[in-house]
A = this chain, B = another copy of it.
Amino acid sequence: MTTKKQNTSSFISPPLGAGEVHSPSGAGGLSGRHFISVKDVRNINALVAKALAYKQNPLKDKSLGTNRRIGLLFLNPSLRTRLSTQVAAQNLGMEAIVFNIDKEGWALEFEEGAIMSGTTVEHVKDAAPILGNYFDILCIRTFPQLKNRDDDYSETVIKQFIRYADVPIISLETATLHPLQSLTDVITIREHLLGFPLRAGSKPKIALTWAPHVKPLPQCVANSFAEWINAWGEAEFVITHPEGYELAEQFTKGAAITNNQDEALKDADFVYVKNWSTYNDYGKIYCNDPYWMLTKDKLNLTNNAKVMHCLPVRRNVELSDEILDSENSLVTKQAANRVWAAQAVIAELLPRP
């Protein structure tokens, strides 16, 4: 049995169902102490299997978190992420405390050596160790500013918490990634692959398609989905977007990329719809052509694909009502699976007695 120290990032996916679940031994899929990106995962399928086992029996590890405390820190608003993580923690018997730093606290400083004579009230160097002291696990949500790409892509906020808090850190979405969402997405895809009519002998085809929106959004969900599907390696994966919306290669490498949406959608088994702003000329809206909205007509190009979206979704802007309200939509099941993704990750990171 692979021990926790071993960090090979091999991503060799076992056949479906073969991913051994080692709950609560901590050997169920994570390789590191934190959960920030797919790089913290040793075995995606094992982690997925662990999550699906919780879905079957949510309270099977109810005593695992007894007298353990999880802190959920929000620098930005959240609905599903916050609630699903709270529910997951409760399922594990943990005490969860939510803290909206932006609203209930004050502005944090992240710059080393800053002379704090401005608007920031407390340095992360002082806040993080305390939070690490009060909690056994710390979860953090922080959005990008979409102003300076280097600032956002350096992921200063979560890295500073990792550096100074001295407890396991779980990302509840950061400037560039949203790993609990992506784990959920893989869980949802795997779940639906059972009994799903694939072309014989083939891998499922997954298309990630850009969609219009009314304001500039982060790239994190798209980055993260690309990173996870690539790392998972059990699908034919294509990304499609208008010219100028290229994502960072560090996350997309391995995927086919095309500006031809029809081509990407053709025969797809899963279509993941998401808007993002430009990465190269950072944080802009270029083309916002409604042509890119996913409609029933476009879905006809696919293999009667299941349609996914992380929510919240702008109806009739990103995706039409007719799709969201149809049998093809997985969005509700996907959001419901957020609980099991969070529960699997928390269970993995819980300090052992």
Q: Mark A residues whose CB is within 8 Å of B.
A: 59, 62, 67, 69, 71, 74, 77-80, 82-84, 86-87, 90, 95, 97, 99-101, 103-106, 109, 113-118, 121-123, 125-127, 129-131, 133-134, 214, 311-317, 321, 324-325, 331-332, 335-336, 339
Q: Is B116's CB under 8 angstroms from A84's CB?
A: no
The dominant DSSP class at the A interface is: mixed
Top 4 closest A-B pairs, CB basis?
A: A122-B312, A116-B314, A115-B316, A133-B336
**What 4 additional pairs, Cβ within 8 angstroms, besides A116-B316, A130-B335?**
A77-B105, A79-B106, A114-B315, A114-B316
| Copies held by the complex | 3
A sample of 24 cross-chain residue pairs with beta-carbon separation below 8 angstroms, ordered by A number, consists of: A62-B67, A71-B83, A74-B104, A78-B104, A79-B104, A83-B134, A84-B134, A86-B97, A87-B134, A90-B95, A103-B104, A117-B314, A117-B317, A122-B311, A122-B313, A123-B313, A126-B324, A126-B331, A126-B332, A130-B311, A130-B332, A130-B336, A133-B332, A133-B335
Partner of A87, one of B69, B83, B117, B214: B69
Q: Is B78's CB under 8 angstroms from A126's CB?
A: no
CB distance from A182 to the nearest CB of B (A): 18
* A67 and B58 alpha carbons, distance in the complex (Å): 10
Q: Is B77's CB under 8 angstroms from A104's CB?
A: yes
Central interface residue in A86, A134, A335, by most chain B CB within 10 Å = A134
CB distance from A317 to the nearest CB of B (A): 5
* A181 and B47 alpha carbons, distance in the complex (Å): 43
Central interface residue in A83, A100, A122, by most chain B CB within 10 Å = A83
* A62 and B321 alpha carbons, distance in the complex (Å): 43
Partner of A80, one of B74, B130, B313: B130
CB distance from A161 to the nearest CB of B (A): 14
